[in-house]
Amino acid sequence: MARTGRRARVGAAVALSLSLALAGCGGGTSKAAKPTATPKPQVSVPVVSKDHSMPQPPRLVGGNAQADILIYASKALSPDMVKKIQAIRAGKQKVVTATELFSLASPSIQGQTYNVAAVDPATYRRFSPAGQQAEIWSRLAAGEMVVASKAAAEQVQSEPNFISIGTGDDARSVHIGAYAPEPPLIQLVVNAKWGEDLFDVHDNALLISTGTHTPQSIRKQVEAIVKGTGASIQLIDKATRLGLDPDAVQTAVATGGSIGAEIGTYHYRVAGTQVIPDSSWVATHIRTEVMPIVGTVSCDKVMLLQLRAALNALIQRGLDKYIHTTAGCFNARFIAGTTSLSNHAFGMAIDFDAPQNARGTAGQIPPAVVQVFKDWGFAWGGDWHYTDPMHFELVRIMKVV
């Protein structure tokens, strides 16, 4: 089935904003320059990660490829599967014109999940509209991160120009090297060397370009090839729709030490704005119990143990008067206005006294209460770049006696 109309050519000028004024990179101080009517943009020196650098990518040859299908599986896609996908034909005509195998995970970063790709800069770049911008991929190869949205990065920076991937003691900070448009559903990109350290599952994602054919025309063939991998097959071409494909089973592979191991692979469907998790995952992970102070809550079974311990510690220290109600724990939903899963979707976060602790405020929870939760393995949303003081999420699994 031929696609109606011709593809628009990717313009030569792609917006790129490189990170500026890196903390700790300067040597001493200097007098501020007088503002001018047309200030010239500054380009920072790349922050090379010696343990996570790769060979510098060569010049992109052959132009960009349109990202039409994203396969995201819970385990590695075999070379044989990839070859079968590449060989798909419509009659005598080849359908799949380009593919890119890479690693993909969905860690929680400051309260919401992000799809983080670990890639080979030399080949992945052809699927980015900014594929011809050499400096972006040079920085990625050197060990820096490429971010699809500057606005999103500003909300989750662990410190200026750094984003921490993972949770708790397992988190690793990666320097932001550039902002550039990425294929749909991919928000953060690191190189494959970083992926070796950050991810538990590798080579579990595949981008596919179908040339002049519609991706819908080969969907059933792709599904048959990857059957048994727990894969979601997402149509991401512009012609299909904006947003998530409601016919696809979505996949989120958690990462980050003990927390990632507890969450495992999360399959879900989307109905409008509603997230519908796989019922077997819910049955295995979510429990409902009566907690001290706040009453009945439904959370991940591991989190309930530490939540109970933290609430009992508040009572023992006379701090229970500062916590009154909960706005909920397990709530299968996206972050408002996005298609990024909230940590509440995994039952790994809980909100307290929402009216007094709105996002963007300091809130009214005393530091002593926050410290008790931190002692029991929780992170506090009040510490984030864009504060969420009602929010506590589990980042470290501890033994509860």
327: Cβ–Cβ under 8 A, 6 or more apart, which residues? 351, 352, 353, 354, 390
**Is the domain defined by 286-394 classed in CATH 1.10.4100.10?**
no
Q: How does the average pLDDT of the chain come out, rounded?
A: 82
Q: What integer pLDDT is reported at residue 336 of this predicted model?
A: 65
CA–CA distance, 75 with 267 (Å, rounded to integer): 13
Is the full-model pTM beyond 0.75? no
Q: What integer pLDDT is reported at residue 269 of this predicted model?
A: 80
Q: What integer pLDDT is reported at residue 215 of this predicted model?
A: 86
Q: In the chain, where does the domain assigned CATH 3.30.1380.10 lie?
A: 286-394
Q: Which residue has the tokens 């800069």?
A: 121
Sequence-ordered alpha helix ranges (H) in 125-230? 134-142, 150-156, 192-198, 219-226
- Which stretches of the chain score pLDDT less than 70? 1-47, 238-248, 255-256, 271-274, 336-339
CA–CA distance, 56 with 47 (Å, rounded to integer): 14
CA–CA distance, 264 with 229 (Å, rounded to integer): 14
Q: What integer pLDDT is reported at residue 6 of this predicted model?
A: 34
Q: What integer pLDDT is reported at residue 15 of this predicted model?
A: 36
Q: 340 to each of 25, 335, 366, how far by Cα in Å?
A: 33, 6, 30
Orientation of helix 367-375 relative to helix 301-316, angle to 10°:
140
**Tokens representing residue 249 in the block:** 């089973």
Of 67, 35, 112, 72, the closest CA to residue 339 belongs to 112
Q: What integer pLDDT is reported at residue 22 of this predicted model?
A: 28
Parallel, antiparallel or unpaired: strands 145-147 and 172-179: parallel
Q: What integer pLDDT is reported at residue 5 of this predicted model?
A: 37
